[in-house]
Chain A
Amino acid sequence: MKLVKFTKKGIYCIPGKFYLDPWLPVDYAIISHGHADHARSGMTYYLCQTDSKAILKHRLGADIHIESLNYDEPKMVNGVQVSFHPAGHVIGSAQIRLEYKGFVVVFSGDYKVKNDYLTIPFEPIKCHEFITESTFGLPIYNWLPEEQLQQQMHDWVLKNQSHHRTSVFLGYSLGKAQRIMKLMEGVDKIYVHSAIHNLNKAIENSGIALPQTELLQYDFKKEDLQNKIIIMPPGLLGSKLLKKIPNAATAICSGWMQIRGNRRWQAVDAGFAVSDHADWNGLLSAVKATEAEKVYVTHGSQATFSKYLNEIGIPSEEVKTEYGSEEDDKEIVTEKKDVL
Chain B
Amino acid sequence: MKHFSELISAIEITNKTNSKIDALVDYLKVAPEKDKLWIITLFTGKRPSRPVKTTLMRQWCLEITGYPEWLFLESYSSVGDLGETIALMLPDPTHKIEKSLSAWMEELIALRPKSDAEKKIYVLNAWSGLEMQERLIFNKLIGGSFRIGVSKKTLVNALSKYSGIDANQLMHSIIGNWDINSISFDDLIQGEHINYDNSKPYPFCLAYALEKELPELGNPDQWQVEYKWDGIRGQIVKRNGEIFIWSRGEELVTSQFPELVSAMETFEDDFVIDGEILALKDNAVLLFNDLQKRLNRKNVSKKMLEEIPVGFYVYDILEWNGQDIREKPMIYRREILENLLTSEILSKQIVISEIITFYHWNELDAIRNQAREYNSEGLMLKQKDSPYHTGRKKGDWWKWKVDPLTIDAVMIYAQKGSGRRSSKYTDYTFAVKKDDGLVTVAKAYSGLTDVEITEISRFVNKNAIEKFGPVRTVKPELVFEIAFEGIALSNRHKSGVALRFPRILRWRRDKTVADIDTIEQVKQLIINPN
A: which residues have CB within 8 A of B? 138-142, 256, 258-265, 267-271, 303-304, 307-308, 311, 325
Contact = CB atoms under 8 A, between A and B. Distances in A.
Q: Interface residue tally of chain B, by bracket?
A: 20 to 34
B68 A311 contact: yes
Contacts of A303: 467-468
Nearest to B80: A261
Which of B13, B75, B418 is most buried by chain A, counting CB atoms within 10 A of its CB?
A: B13
Contacts of A267: 15
Given A138-B78, A262-B423, A304 B468 contact: yes
Contacts of A264: 12-13, 15, 419-420
B450 interface: yes
Interface stretch (B84-92, B113-121, B381-389, B429-437): B84-92
Contacts of B422: 259-262
Given A138-B78, A311-B68, A263 B88 contact: no
Contact of B75 (A139, A256, A269, A270): A139
Contacts of B89: 139-140
Given A261-B80, A265-B450, A303-B468, A139 B67 contact: yes
Contact of A256 (B67, B418, B421, B423): B423
A265 B417 CA distance: 11
Given A304-B71, A304-B74, A311-B68, A270 B84 contact: no
B61 to A, nearest CB: 10
Contacts of B13: 263-264, 268-271
Contacts of B468: 303-304
Interface of B: 12-15, 19, 65, 67-68, 70-71, 74-75, 78-81, 84-85, 88-89, 136, 417-424, 450, 458, 461, 467-468
Contact of A269 (B14, B70, B85): B14
Contacts of B12: 260, 263-264
Contacts of B424: 265
A265 B74 contact: no
A139 B68 contact: no
B458 A325 contact: yes
Contacts of B421: 261, 265
Given A261-B79, A304-B71, 19 more contacts: A138-B71, A138-B74, A138-B78, A139-B65, A139-B75, A139-B89, A140-B75, A256-B423, A259-B88, A260-B12, A261-B81, A264-B12, A264-B419, A267-B15, A269-B13, A269-B19, A307-B70, A311-B68, A325-B458
A260 B84 contact: yes
Contacts of B136: 260
Among A138, A307, A308, find the residue whose CB has the most chain B CB atoms closer than 10 A: A138
29 contacts: A138-B71, A138-B78, A139-B65, A139-B75, A140-B75, A140-B79, A140-B89, A141-B88, A142-B88, A260-B12, A260-B81, A260-B136, A260-B422, A261-B81, A261-B417, A261-B422, A261-B423, A262-B423, A263-B13, A264-B12, A264-B13, A264-B420, A265-B424, A265-B450, A271-B13, A304-B467, A304-B468, A307-B70, A308-B71
